[in-house]
Amino acid sequence: MIPPERRVKRGSIVLKMVVIGVLMLALMIPLFMVGNLVSERQQRHDAVTREVASTWGNAQTLGGPVLVVPYNVYTRDDKGRLTTWTQLAYFLPEVLKTDGRIVPEQRSRGIFDVVVYRADLRLSGTFQRPSFTVWGTPAADILWDQAYLAIGIPDMRGIRRGVQLTWAGKMLDLSPGGGVEGLWASGLKVPISGLGQAPAGETWDFGFDLTLNGSQSLTFLPFGKQTTVALRSDWRSPSFGGAFLPESRRVTKTGFEATWNVPYFGRSYPQQWRTSEAEKVAAQQVVDASAFGVELFLPVDIYQKTERSVKYGILFVLLTFLTFFLYEIFSPFSLHPMQYLLVGSALCLFYVLLLSISEHIPFGPSYIIASAATIGLITSYAAAILRGRLRALGVGAALIGLYGYLYVLLQAEDYALLLGSIGLFLILALVMFITRRLDWYTPRNLPVQPDPGVEA
């Protein structure tokens, strides 16, 4: 026979609520550890992405071409001695057109997938004869014979074949060493002759084909007075970003097509400029900020979705504990804190199952498998501790509703807050409705201590 004081303690609703609250706080520790595990796997995936990109090609930002013309500048020191030093002037094309096709590939390293691409590009446009009139530079100080055309490519390993430039009908071979201080660190260059002898206002057409390997994203700098970029690919999940969005785009199940038309009014740097060392740093910042293009990403980010699901972990523990607690209130038996702890542990283990399975198969089937395993485990356990199959089925139905609700929240990211607030409101309304006639001072299971062997 159970002593009366022990029976009262077991039936104390206030004490039971305090114990459940402490258990929930304790379960936040494994939930926090699961969150760290997700971050660790994400970092591992990022490391693999960088490793693959280091051998194939990193994200590429194509800059230029830009016409660079050196000129002499003279200064006198305190003793009146004349010093000559060379400064650079940069001239951008009047028209810059890019037409290209992106061929994506999905590479695997272990269990991780990385998106890489090969871009077949055709660049063409027009340059006008550089003019130093606005700066008042004497013609004798302009070093036309040292002028060159530079093209910025951040990862030169992505170039797999030689590049030839057509300039005014002549074929010129581009070579490495096209880094331009203040603009980019690496690229291609080719000397340009005949600029000094040309009359003012003369224009030259240029064009070249470029096959470029890269990963994740391909962006461009709007260096033309009028810049046009047309891209197409069979990748079905593009993300257009940067300083300018496409003027037109079409995304279908077979790929995408996008076209950008960017006038020079939309950027913060002019068609020609010369810079001092301090100004070059500022020029680098404003130039980089004008880049635009497309990013190729895997449509299912398992780590982001798993991380978002972990954020709902404490809510799942609360609602599941609440379900058991209400059964305990309305039924003639009491549950031990250890039983609550085991149920909470199963809820935490769901996220580990989800993460580990989704690294091998798509997220949707992974979610179904992990949630079905968790629901099955808790429901079968509830059939024993709640002393009734109908009660266990009620717990199972509640869990099915919760996990189905969470999956909807994960898929509808833009409406997650709205759906979450509505769902919580309905759950609170349901609990208030169920307990509206309950006398919290004298819960129904307080005076009765059932026989553990009797089926309720």
Query: Residue 157: its pLDDT value, please?
Result: 87
Pairing of strands 95-109, 226-233: parallel
| pLDDT > 70: percent of the chain | 90
Residue 395 has pLDDT above 80, yes or no: yes
Give the strand order in the sheet containing 226-233. 170-173, 164-167, 203-215, 112-128, 95-109, 226-233, 255-263, 248-252
| Element housing 170 (H / E) | strand 170-173
Residue 119 has pLDDT above 90, yes or no: yes
Residue 413 has pLDDT above 70, yes or no: no
Pick 436 or 22 by higher pLDDT: 22
- Between CA 270 and CA 279 the distance in angstroms is 14
CB 184 within 8 A of CB 154: yes
Residue 449 has pLDDT above 60, yes or no: no
End-to-end C-alpha distance for the chain, whole angstroms? 20
| Angstrom distances, CA of residue 141 to CA of 136, 145, 288, 365 | 11, 11, 31, 71
| Element housing 236 (H / E) | none
The whole-number average pLDDT for the span 25-30 is 90
pLDDT grade for 408, boundaries at 50, 70 and 90: confident
Mean pLDDT across the chain: 84
pLDDT grade for 415, boundaries at 50, 70 and 90: confident
Query: Residue 454: its pLDDT value, please?
Result: 43
Residue 94 has pLDDT above 60, yes or no: yes
Query: Residue 98: its pLDDT value, please?
Result: 95
Question: Helix (H, G, I), strand (E, B), or coil: what is residue 31?
Answer: helix
Confidence (pTM): 0.72
- Between CA 22 and CA 20 the distance in angstroms is 5
- Between CA 109 and CA 66 the distance in angstroms is 38
Pick 197 or 108 by higher pLDDT: 197
pLDDT grade for 450, boundaries at 50, 70 and 90: very low
